[in-house]
Amino acid sequence: MTWEYVLKGIEGAFEMIASLDVEVADIALRSIKVSGIATLMAAIIGIPTGVALGISTFRGRNVLRSFFNGMLGIPTVVMGLILYLILAPAGPLGSLKLLYTEMGISFGQMLLILPIVVSFTASSIESVEREIRELALTLGASRAEATLKVIREASAGVLLAVIAAFNRAIAELGIALMVGGNIFVRGGALNTRVLTTSIQMYVARGDIDIAIALGMILLGIVFVITTVSNFLQSRWVLK
């Protein structure tokens, strides 16, 4: 019985992709868009923060480092609930009108994955920091030039951090559901249904085969992104 679902799901996934089902394409693209924007936001905030934490030795650095490390595993439902309460019109950030919108999900996922970007960036900087800095310095670099070299040497690790962050964002359900609301109106411009929320909805409705097909698409996206990043990374090292 279970196997039947899986087989039907795989078949369904291929059918949906082959027939370019508009609704499915819309949902899949929204997933990529929403989590992509979340990842971009997390990157422009998180990479500089991670670099700063990786390079500098100011007081309180360790506290910040452990804070971000601790936030790595925060359950998405907890995050979703907190964000829901903050973003609800009666909440402190209600005036932003982000509840039940795409940008709301992006904002929430950004907060979710920020610790990933910060921590991974900081560790990849730390792993090369001392050696590369001293090497650059002794080869005649100024302090600023040495810092730049450290960042450049850590960039493969930073790319990995960003990819890991995107994969976590696109695969999470709690925030997309509680902050997004799984809204879908045919032809609507303000829909918030993404892959994970539609999967849970179809499961709740008993349409297991559609749910599995959508799951396959989600897996496919994550797989492609990961493969591309691995390829980029190996190019980076082998060049």
Partner 1 sequence: MIRLVGITKRYGETEALRDVSLEIKKGDVFAIIGSSGAGKTTLLRIISMLETDYSGEYYLNDIDVRKNQEDLRKRITMVFQKPVMFNTSVFDNVAYGLRIRGLSSREVESRVNSVLELVGLYELRKKNAKKLSGGEQQRVALARALVLETEVLVLDEPTANLDAGNVQMIEAIIKEITDDGVTVVMATHNLFQAKRLANMVAYLNSGELVEVGSVKQIFESPEKEMTKRFIMGETYF
Partner 2 sequence: MKRVLVAILLIVFVISIAWVLQVQHQNQTRVLTISTTTSLYDTGLLEEAIAPAFKEKYGIELHFIPKGTGAAIQDAKNGASDAIMVHARSKEVKFMEEGYGVNRKIFAYNFFVIVGPPEDPAEIKGLSPVEALKKIAEAGRSGKAIWVSRDDGSGTNTKEKALWKMAGFDYVEVKEENWFRRTGTGMGATLNYANNVGGYTLSDTGTYLKFRKDGLISLEALVDKGEELINIYAIIIVNPEKFQKDFEGAILLAKWLTSREGQKIIGQFGVDQYDKPLFFPIVSVLEKKEEPIYDWILRYGLIEDGDKLTECPQRYRYQSSLTFFEVNQT
Binding interface with partner 2 (CB under 8 A): 33, 37, 40-41, 43-44, 84-85, 88-91, 94, 97, 99-103, 106, 148, 181-186, 188-190, 201, 203-208
Number of residues that bind partner 1 (CB under 8 A): 20
Work out which of 29, 44, 72, 139 binds partner 1, going by CB under 8 A.
139
Binding status of residue 97 toward partner 1 by CB under 8 A: no
- In the numeric block, which tokens belong to residue 170? 């696109």
- Toward partner 1, which CB reaches closer, 4 or 134? 134
Work out which of 80, 98, 111, 149 binds partner 1, going by CB under 8 A.
149
Residues 158-177 within binding reach of partner 1 (CB under 8 A) = none
Distance of closest approach, residue 55 Cβ to partner 1, in angstroms: 16
Task: Collapse the DSSP code of 239 into the 3-class scheme (helix H, G, I; strand E, B; otherwise coil) and give the result.
Answer: coil
- In the numeric block, which tokens belong to residue 87? 């973003």
- Toward partner 1, which CB reaches closer, 90 or 237? 237
User: Could you tell me what percentage of the chain is helix, strand and coil, using 3-state DSSP and rounding each to the nearest 5?
Assistant: 80, 0, 20
- Toward partner 1, which CB reaches closer, 60 or 140? 140
Binding status of residue 14 toward partner 1 by CB under 8 A: no
Q: Are 79 and 111 in contact (CB under 8 A)?
A: yes
- Toward partner 2, which CB reaches closer, 65 or 87? 87
Among partner 1, partner 2, none, partner that 4 touches (CB below 5 to 8 angstroms by kind): none
User: Residue 39 and residue 42: Cα distance in Å, rounded?
Assistant: 5
User: Residue 128 and residue 149: Cα distance in Å, rounded?
Assistant: 10
Among partner 2, partner 1, none, partner that 208 touches (CB below 5 to 8 angstroms by kind): partner 2
- Toward partner 1, which CB reaches closer, 156 or 217? 156
Q: DSSP readout, 161-193? A: HHHHHHHHHHH--HHIIIII-----TT-SS---
- Toward partner 1, which CB reaches closer, 105 or 136? 136
Around 81, how many Cα atoms within 13 Å sit in the side-chain half-sphere?
4
- In the numeric block, which tokens belong to residue 19? 């027939």
Instruction: Determine how many CB atoms are found less than 10 A away from the CB of residue 144.
Output: 8
Binding status of residue 142 toward partner 1 by CB under 8 A: yes
Of 45-53, 74-82, 97-105, 126-134, the window that binds partner 1 (rule: CB under 8 A) is 126-134
Positions that interact with partner 1 (CB under 8 A) = 131-132, 134-143, 145, 149, 153, 156, 236-239
